[in-house]
Amino acid sequence: MSCTAPPSCGTSAKLQAPFLTFENVRLRYGDADDSLALNGLDMTIGKGQFVAVVGPSGCGKSSLMKLATGLLMPTSGSIVAEGKPVLEPLKIVGMAFQNPTLLPWRNLLSNIMLPLEIAQPHRSRLRANRKMYEGLARQLLETVGLKGFENRHPWMMSGGMQQRANLCRSLIHEPELLMLDEPFGALDAFTREELWSVLQTVFMQRAFTCVLVTHDLREAAFLADVVFVMSARPGKVVATHRVDLPRPRTITDTFDPAFIEIVSQIRREIAHVWHGQTASGSPQ
Amino acid sequence: MSPKSFRRLERAMPWIVILGLLIAWEITVQALHVRKFILPPPTDVYAALIQYHEPILLNSLFTLENTLAGFGIGVIVGLVLGLTIGSSRLIYAGLYPLLIGINSVPKAAVVPLLVIWMGIGQAPAITTAFMLCFFPIAVNVAMGLATTEPELEDVLRSLGASKLDILIKVGLPRSMPYFFASLKVSITLAFVGAVISETIASNDGVGYMMLQAASQFRTPLIFAGLFVIAAMGIITYMLFAFLENRMTGWALRKQTIMMTGG
């Protein structure tokens, strides 16, 4: 994919500094033959980059998330975050999953503020600066369109609203790395597209590094700077795809021939890879 | 039926059923001329309640005291045990079969042993009440902990949360609805335990009183004792149901909202 509008290529400057690197990573659960989840995975994620990982179900996408955040250690290979090998859970991460997992006994505001009660340095500052932190939380809720819902409980809200709140919770402690595992998978199409835009807005405002695991190719192309295509189990990266469309991208843009071409190109690669042939790698 | 009158009927239903049952009982016993020492009519039981109200009150208080003491110990032990087996797979694997074994032993069979160790009266009654009531609490609390979503655990661990953090922020509140639900069951089991022990090894309490009444064929008094135990069970059950509603209303509300599709 060539760059059509030069200003949009600002992301490529950030690519110089790798934020997270996977090198020949192999992950095995137990000893059985089919227990190999990942094999020979290489992936480089630049600082401030929005990366999407697409792959067939069971290709180890979720294992990838756990490896990247240090919740799981690879069987072999190395994972390096900001120049340091990942040997224990990273503490600069925000995570959100398909299941919003908000705590039903807390209202929205205190749900959002949960990470502040755990992650340092906020943990020790929270008591003294509660007003300030509450302000931050309210501001974040406003950004995702949940202003006025601070005192509601999660079970009073729709799935889309819960997912917005989930996004807020993953961002409140200003993580450098945001990991999203099919966060919009359970939502209806309209809500999903709305949340794409919300996520893009937050991403542009806060300049964090983001890894989005998804099986929705339009979602991947809409949000990401780089799309990694993974093979079936044992998973590895078989194609890398740059999406150099300018931001902010709008839902209308997704009907643009250029966008459709990108999506169908990824789809062709995937069809090629997932039907058993060996991939020749990146189309670039 | 209007919603208001439906709710009034709903509230009256327990009384209607109990009253109906007593009336049916009375009529059947009178009509079939059942002898009083086999099955007395409710009016005779009521008469016995009035006649022996003083010893009944004293013995009931004794039973209530034993029950609550055993229940109190059961709550503490059950909670600690539940939290322990719920948060460690190893401890769970080690203790669970043992707990099931202990729970399967008929408690009436243990009372003689308790008598050898503690003598008769209050001590074995409290112990039996405790033994019957800690198990549901422990199992429920452990189950509540197990409902913590693994995703949420990942979210918290990636924030640098310790096991204790996760337990305090998520596990404990998450298991509270299960805990309070088990209290209702456990308090009634504690009554069973206390009365069993009093029947076998005590000179006080409703259990002892009923055994004495039985030896003298004073069947109405036996029933009076049963009624009193049932009444105490219902009252304490309702007390804990109320407490459950107050403390963990969020869990109940969630269900009702989900049921109406909201």
**Which residues of chain A fall below pLDDT 70?**
1-16, 31-34, 274-284
Best CA proximity match to B221, nearest among B29, B32, B30, B54: B54
The CATH fold of domain A1-92+178-187+208-284:
Rossmann fold (3.40.50)
pLDDT over 80 at B90, yes or no: yes
- Is this model's pTM higher than 0.90 or not? no
- Chain centroid, CA A189 distance in Å: 19
**Chain segment B112-168, per-residue pLDDT in tens:** 999 999 998 899 999 999 999 999 999 999 988 888 888 888 888 888 888 889 999
Paired residues of A242 in beta bridges: A226
What pLDDT does residue A55 have?
A: 80
Output helix, strand, coil percentages for chain A, rounded to the nearest 5. 40, 20, 40
Sketch the domain layout of chain B as residue ranges.
57-259
Residue A28, phi then psi, degrees to nearest 5: -125, 130
B248 CB neighbours in chain A (<8 A) are: 105
**Chain segment A41-72, per-residue pLDDT in tens:** 888 898 889 999 988 777 777 788 888 888 88
Model ipTM value: 0.78
Q: What would the two tokens of residue B72 be?
A: 């109190």
What pLDDT does residue B253 have?
A: 61
How does residue B250 score in pLDDT terms, banded at 50, 70 and 90? confident
Dist CA B87 CA B92 (whole Å) = 8
Cis peptide before A248 (omega within 30 of 0): yes
**Which residue shows structure tokens 């993974």?**
A230
Q: Is A69 on the interface with B (CB under 8 A)?
A: yes
Cis peptide before A234 (omega within 30 of 0): yes
Q: Is B156 on the interface with A (CB under 8 A)?
A: yes
**Chain segment A107-153, per-residue pLDDT in tens:** 899 999 999 898 888 888 888 888 888 888 998 888 888 888 888 88
**Chain segment B185-232, per-residue pLDDT in tens:** 999 999 999 999 999 999 999 999 999 999 999 999 999 999 999 999
What pLDDT does residue B254 have?
A: 52
Does domain B57-259 fall under CATH 1.10.2020.10? My reply is no
Mutate to test the interface with B, among A91, A92, A93, A101 (most CBs of B within 10 A): A101
Q: Which of A66, A95, A105 sits opposite B250 (nearest CB)?
A: A105
CB contact under 8 A, A71 and B157: yes
Distances in Å between the Cα of B30 and the Cα atoms of B35, B42, B218, B250 are 9, 10, 18, 50
Give alpha helix (H) positions in B161-217: 163-166, 172-200, 205-215
What is residue B201's three-state secondary structure? coil
- At what angle are helices B107-118 and B122-146 packed, to 10 degrees? 130
Least reliable range by pLDDT among A87-91, B91-95, B160-164, B176-180: A87-91
Distances in Å between the Cα of A9 and the Cα atoms of A4, A62, A200, A212 are 9, 30, 16, 20
Sketch the domain layout of chain A as residue ranges.
1-92+178-187+208-284, 97-175
Q: Is B36 on the interface with A (CB under 8 A)?
A: no
Average pLDDT over all residues of chain B? 89
CA distance B81 to chain A (A): 24
CB contact under 8 A, A104 and B257: no
Paired residues of A27 in beta bridges: A38
CB contact under 8 A, B158 and A153: no
